[in-house]
Structure 1
Amino acid sequence: MWSRRQSRLKTLACGVEELRCRRREREAALRKARREQQLVSKRLLREDAPEEAGGQSAPVLLGEAEVQQILRLAQRGTDEKEREKALVSLRRGLQHPETQQTFIRLEGSVRTLVGLLTSNRALLQLEAARCLHELSHSEQSAVAQACLPATSYLLTYLSGHSPDFIELCLYTLGNLIVESEAVRKQLLAQGVVPALAACIQSPHVAVLEALGYALSQLLQAKEAPEIIPSLLDSSLPQHMLRLMQPGPKLNLGVAVEFTWCLHYIICSQVNNAVLLTLGALPTLATLLLDLAGAVQRADDEGLELLACPVLRCLSNLLTEVPVEAMGEQMELRDERVVAALFILLQFFLQKQPTLLPEGLWLLNNLTGAYSSVQRCRKGSGLLPAVVARALALLFAQNTGSF
């Protein structure tokens, strides 16, 4: 009788393992699809142009002759105002995909634009940079490739004094990084990591958010394993963690960008010991507590944007810490961390059920290492109730997909 039961259990185990393998494969495919979708995400600062406030920002289709005429005026106009006006017309035209194609086909067009970008006239520089930004937002890879000669200048201007211009350069670089392997290789050869490390000390929130975007695009590229060692050797990680510290100076947009950057670094598993040494776990734990506090204050606008990367970072970093070293992380021994997680889980049940797997994943990793989970479970009936509801909801969402 025992041998028969043992045989049945063995068969069932194989079936369960097969289902798990299929699920892992499906989840890997979904993660890959999400990653690729995020890789081609681009941002546009078109609304920053004051001339377009009057509603005159509709894309204009320009023919080859018109583009040539505009470039001549921008290059050799009678005065700076006329040249600037020509560049504004070009920028509006470059919002149209067909004008973009016409522009890059014209011999010397990009060279002319780069010449204006490097001129000693600030207004012309700004408009030329805006034209390049429009090109960088194109969905056609050939357009990004055509912008290659401008990247070294955009990188150089990151050390400038105008926050608006630096922000524009960062978003343009971020858009080009995602589209062109040649751009990424050139930027790496020209020292993109030190240039970004210098930017992170900027006091301007808009610059920091743009920097986080450009850096996250770089960290998602296939060259990321080559980039991350030099990044970890720079001052970037410690400044990233500083900008994620809860407090009155915390900016949600900046924190979101750099927490995603941290997530990509952790997932690379190049050298997560550096992050642990810099105090990444306590910083993330404190941020988790702050997020739970925001929920309780009903101050939850945009919360899920930060909660998702925080939960992922914590979950992944926990697997990097040896069990015997767990006691050194005082914040994670505190029952408040587990309580904060369940406050967030309860919130996600109501408003953001798609984030439930992230919270349950963190709970799984916490349960494997900390007795605080057991103490929290004994002290309150909230924990098992919330988990049961979360699991039931997840099961309902996934019925028929296993």
Structure 2
Amino acid sequence: MSQSLDVVVIGAGAAGLAAGARLHAAGLDVAVLEAAERIGGRAFTDTTSFSGIPWDQGCHWLHSASINTLRAAADALGRSYAVRGSRQARATHLGTRWADEAERLAVWNAIEVGYHDVKAAGEAGRDVAASAVMDTASPWYRMTRHWLALMSAAEPERLSTLDYVAYEDTGENYPVEAGYGALIAALARHTAPDLPITLGCPVRKLDWAGPGVVLETAKGRVEGKTAIVAVPTTVIAKGALAFAPALPAELAEAFAALPLGCAEKVAFQFDRDVFGLPAVSYADTIDLADPSRAPINFTLNPFGHPMAIGQLAGDNAARLVKEGPAAMVDFGLAALKDAFGADIARHVVQTATTAWIADPLIGGAYSCALPGLAHMRARLGQTLDDKVLFAGEAASPHFYSTAHGAHLTGLAAADAVLARLGRSAA
């Protein structure tokens, strides 16, 4: 492959697809290069593991739905989603029994207090570890840690309070029925049906020393007037994508300061409805008798399918991924058996697990700034010599860690390129 283009987009996740589609629709000569053999990045709807039933291995909820631009895209493309109420609308299992209403409310009050304390520290301008301001004496401290880790993909010790408070959260999180990954892919096809995307094409080096950019890829040399880099922070921090000249120190520091944490899923398909609950029900579990056992929460009967999808986060998720899929399944099934009876195991017909943290092309879930380094997120808005721009969820100041945050940064990068080239969006 040898090409000379107006723009080269590296990465076909939500950001790269948004950038590429907008530029292509505006008439620019653009190509999207993707290292994996599929598009979407962390927006991936798997339709093969469960006999055609779609489930999102990565992002799934339209976060902050009332201000989420991809909700409008879902509406325009006829992609349905469930409008959910408060996060508290769920049951909580305590290891040997279900929590009564007073206990359930106490759990969620503790979680909300935890959120409040972390946000209050950030609002006061403190850039410290979230763990430094949490109530460790709370009887529900483990559950608070679990939910904070789910939100940030990081243990509280590795989460900046100042970065956490920058996230704009309306509390409206709507799951996408046919999959968020499928929505991202459909939107790109709708915007630019013939957008050139080359799969299985990792970029090894980006040379920005000359008047344009030169990329060394697994499939040959590619030249462009400019480049948009839309890959996870870990890819750059670990040197999988090299730059020549090397990145300026302050930019390299920023990528290292915004690592991807760990958030994984373990999914179960049953031969029938084993829960007797409405579609898209939620349950949390915590074993009060065993403090060493981490919590796990589930989506039950997602959109009416006889399934359970468990969410794991932080160090526990990373440990289970390292131990392998069987360990993840055992951990999730043990919690389901505690809550719904041991007989549930004989109705399992299929399982699937994720391993984002072990994927060399991604390396984790979503970004969070390390304590004391929240200010470094803004650095990802810098350009290299006005011809290399960066996009992706980590570059979003207020919607980081989300698909719509990534999407918006892709559009912003595309608009910046159009302005530089004296062109306008279609």
Taking structure 2 as the reference length, what is the TM-score of the superposition?
0.20
**Higher strand content, 1 or 2:** 2
Superposition TM-score, scaled by structure 1 size? 0.21
Higher relative contact order (CA 8 A, sep 6+): 2
